[in-house]
Structure 1
Amino acid sequence: MFFIVVYQNALLVLITLPAAVAAAAGAPLTPWDAVWAVLFLGALAGETVADQQQWEFHRAKARAGGALAPGFVTTGLWRFSRHPNFFFEQMQWWLVYAFGATAAVAGGAGWWGGVLNPSLVGAALLTVLFIGSTIFTESISAGKYPAYAQYRGQTSMLLPLPPRARRDASVTR
């Protein structure tokens, strides 16, 4: 009850706080806002592609009778990250924070006042929530699919990176 009612609702307020910070600053748009917007659209596209790839894998798995080796998606963006959808969603919320921070700086709060504005808390707490969720999700996958240990050893957890060479599956990052 605490997690759903209190934590998640407080988190929703905190992750949207950058909009209030930007509005209160009353600053004009800057070139950084264009950079953040382009990166945000890229992150939105990345999350959409990752979610679609996962959806297609699960549809194929269902058509195959519920079993499709190795049991989880490992192609497309999932070749570079075990959770590319989580990475791109996190990136979007950090970019929302960047909009607010840029507006605060442009509005005269100074560099430290802009960067360390209260809206930082929302993005940070959401990241903590996602990391906890990711660790939990991975414990389920590792228990369900023997091949997941090797996938962990070769593929970055969040940050999309080139796959590592095959090595001992007990080594993860």
Structure 2
Amino acid sequence: MTDLNPQIILPGRYSFVARTLTLLLREEKVLMQKAPLTKKIWAGHYNGIGGHIENGEDVLSSARRELLEESGLECTDLHLCGVVTIEVQPSQGILMFVLSGSRLVGEPRPSEEGELEWIAVDELPQYPVVEDIPMLIEKIKNNDQIFFGHYSYDSVGKLVATFSYSAPQPL
């Protein structure tokens, strides 16, 4: 940061770590990544593809980079579907940008982040998936509007999710 940059984060303000999550949908299937058992979070669980937004990246370029790094794929119709705020600590949370697409270039290949598998959406309950994945897929498939979500966890660690939608735009 230079003295010429007027943007600041005031001490004590709630802040977010920005991440992307990409859910590729094709013919009622979703491309899922199974995390290795050695992973710190969601070990052995299926999730979408994504990660942290790096310095100098916008949301779309980050999602494209993560997709290429973790799957070997490019997606020509990748688009924003929703934004979710996730409570983590009293002073910091996660800001997750959810993207989707279906027009792919290349063939899926595994990476150190996990194995890849196309799974029928209606068969997801048979797999160990990260708990929000089924509801995010439902939001993507059943709405033309961008969704906004908020996640918190109750006293027993159960996910509490709320969603709202952008107002329809006039033609």
Fold-level similarity (TM above 0.5): no
- TM-score for the superposition, normalised by structure 2: 0.27
Query: What is the TM-score with the length of structure 1 in the denominator?
Result: 0.27
Which structure has the greater CA radius of gyration?
1
> Which of 1 and 2 has higher RCO (CA within 8 Å, sep 6+)?
1
Judging by fraction of residues, say which structure has more strand: 2
